[in-house]
Chains A and B, each alone.
Chain A
Amino acid sequence: MVALIDYGSGNVASVANALAELKEDFRITCNEVEICKADKIIFPGVGEASFAIRQLHMLNLFSVLRIVKKPVLGICLGLQLMADHSTEGNVACLGIFPVSVEKFDPGKSKVPHMGWNDVDIKYSSKLFSEIKNAERFYFANSYYIPLNGCTTAITDNNGIPFSSAMEKENFYGVQFHPEKSGDAGLKLLKNFIELC
């Protein structure tokens, strides 16, 4: 069973629709026990970082997400919340990836970075199994994670390269929205559930 964490972020319905299309067994939940019992955990997110972290604290999910040993996939804001810190609302995040979330400079590129962009796979990963290099995925982000030791795929926003996918132990994260990225996105979700 896949636990799809609902902590008041926007795109739970969209991820649920994608999982339903894949005919996966999933449960939308914010219950710590259910999350611990799941085989896989999807941690979606759309919205503002400090608000989201407050929600995680209120729902008592902050600690469990840090220590869980099952595979976790963070999507968009979900990925960013797995960093040490976010400049969005200047908030301490889960601290899984040792890096800070930065804002795109409106002087250098359009903000938000919105639309379909190439994802260059730098390290082979189960997550991208049978997905071609430079496949296009849908992004909608004003903040980004700079390249770091956990980066597995890179995307360029008008000369600013950033982490479009990251991995560390059982933690996976993508900056784009697989649930909104057509067939390639569905394939990535399937890979996470079946291979990771």
Chain B
Amino acid sequence: MLCKRIIPCLDVKDGRVVKGTNFVNLIDAGSPVELADRYSKEGADELVFLDITASAEKRKTLVGLVKDVAKAIRIPFTVGGGISELHDIELLLKAGADKISLNSSIVKNPELITKASRQFGSQAVVAAIDVKFNGSDYKVYIKGGREKTDLIAMEWCRRVTELGAGEILLTSMDRDGTKEGYDLKFLKELSSVVSVPVIASGGAGKKEDFLRAFKEADVDACLAASLFHFNILPIKELKNYLKENGIAVRI
């Protein structure tokens, strides 16, 4: 039986892992290689690196980071953050990343999904979608949540899979950082609408939140950052809990 996945997310700036809230108060949290190795040993099923570097050197440091991480760990990992060129996708995949996540760039240029999935396979293309509820609709936001678009979230999710995305990483901006649990309502509908795997993101605060996302919203994977970084919830403890509650996980 296909296991449900637990995915720690690491924010990276200038080749170092940073911790903070909403891109401010960033503290250096160490080398990506050391943390990747730690999470891999603790039982993470995959890792996501989100690059928040703004400098012109971005691509160079990111490719170097991917090479180093790929040498160190034997589990799959995704790289995202400001990737907008097919050539950059190729460089990162060849450096050893398994998947690329695309966010703002595909809103402006949806064809990028199709081109990337044709060339590298849809399993390598993750559509990262940030959504926020405005009282009547869920809307898509880009640029790290700073810019609202007119896209209706569920329609955009459906569209990216039609274009060739092989997975959706869905972040609820309303829940992000709240520790109130994942947005089960949206995720449940999403899981029934699309046939690609869905990764839930935003809001995890305790073990029960993961269980509910798997059981009630039928997601394929759960992503979290601070819970794992600050060791509030060790991955082993989480997975044992999920297993005891009837979820297929890799232990």
Residues of A within 8 A of B (CB): 10-14, 17-18, 20-21, 46-48, 51, 77, 106-107, 110-118, 136, 138-142, 156-158, 177, 179-183, 185-186
Contacts and interface: CB of A to CB of B under 8 A. Distances in A.
A14 B71 CA distance: 8
Given A110-B195, A112-B197, A10 B71 contact: no
A11 B166 CA distance: 17
Nearest to A177: B76
Contacts of A112: 122-123, 166-167, 196-197
Interface in B33-76: 40, 45, 67, 70-71, 74-76
A17 B77 CA distance: 14
B59 to A, nearest CB: 17
B74 A186 contact: yes
Contacts of A139: 2
B93 interface: yes
B120 A47 contact: yes
Given A110-B197, A115-B221, A14 B98 contact: yes
Interface string B1-32: 11111000000000000000000000000000
Interface residues of B, number: 33
A153 B93 CA distance: 29
A142 B124 CA distance: 11
B15 to A, nearest CB: 19
29 contacts: A10-B120, A13-B67, A14-B70, A17-B96, A18-B74, A48-B118, A107-B195, A111-B196, A112-B166, A112-B167, A114-B123, A114-B197, A115-B3, A116-B3, A117-B3, A138-B76, A140-B123, A141-B123, A142-B122, A156-B1, A157-B2, A177-B76, A180-B75, A180-B76, A180-B98, A181-B74, A181-B75, A182-B40, A182-B75
B119 interface: yes
Contacts of A46: 93, 120-121, 123-124
B220 interface: yes
A47 B74 CA distance: 20
B94 A10 contact: yes
Contact of B2 (A13, A20, A117): A117
A77 B71 CA distance: 22
B157 to A, nearest CB: 14
B243 interface: no
B247 interface: no
A21 B74 contact: yes
Contacts of A18: 74
B159 interface: no
Given A13-B95, A142-B123, A114 B166 contact: yes
